[in-house]
Amino acid sequence: MRLALVCVGKLKAGPERLLFDRYLKRLKEGARSAGLAGVDVREIGESRARRPDERRAEEGAAILAAAPKGGALVLLDERGAPATSEEWAADIGRARDGSRPVYAVAIGGPDGLDSSLGAAAHRIVSFGAMTWPHQLVRVMAGEQLYRAMTILAGHPYHRR
């Protein structure tokens, strides 16, 4: 199974990019030890539609098109259910062990995710009730995916 991070918007140069790249490198280097075939990052351009609901709809369609078919689609949304690192790692492990081809994590644009994505989602996860900037959500997702991979591999990074 592959991990995929599907993001609306581009991560520009800066400290967030450096931190995200650090976790992505670690994740790619350790993926095989957790039984993962690899990691992909797919960036989708932000919609230029005038209205927020139109932007969300266009970006939602682009997320669905970018998320590989037959996989588990996980949406990161402030209205989702909170999950511990261990719970998220276990969910990834179940998808891996269930022969899913991909576990795709989607991060929406500035206007959030289109409600139509909920029907296609395996689950909706929240990093808390607060709204986070896209750049920080991408860093947090990268770190949590890396942490999940280390939990699955029995690596000591996650100490509890």
In the chain, what percentage of residues exceed pLDDT 90? 89
| DSSP alpha helix (H) spans, the chain | 15-30, 52-66, 85-97, 134-153
Percent of the chain with pLDDT over 70: 99
Q: Which residues contact 19 (CB under 8 A, 6 or more apart)?
A: 139, 142
Whether pLDDT at 68 is above 80: yes
Distance (Å, whole) CA 157 – CA 46: 34
Let me know: does 122 contact 75? Beta carbons within 8 Å: no
Q: For residue 51, which phi and psi values (nearest 5 degrees)?
A: -100, 145
Tokens of 38: 């690899």
According to CATH, the superfamily of the domain at 10-153 is: SPOUT methyltransferase, trefoil knot domain (3.40.1280.10)
The structural domains of the chain, with segments of one domain joined by +, span: 10-153
Query: pLDDT band at 155, cuts 50/70/90?
Result: confident
Rounded Cα–Cα distance for residues 13 and 3 (Å) = 23
**pLDDT tens-place string over residues 19-54:** 999 999 999 999 999 999 999 999 999 999 999 999
pLDDT of 157 reads 84
Q: Quickly state the pLDDT bin for 160 (edges 50, 70, 90).
A: low
Predicted TM-score (pTM) of the model is: 0.93
Partner residues linked to 8 by β-bridges: 44
pLDDT band at 140, cuts 50/70/90? very high
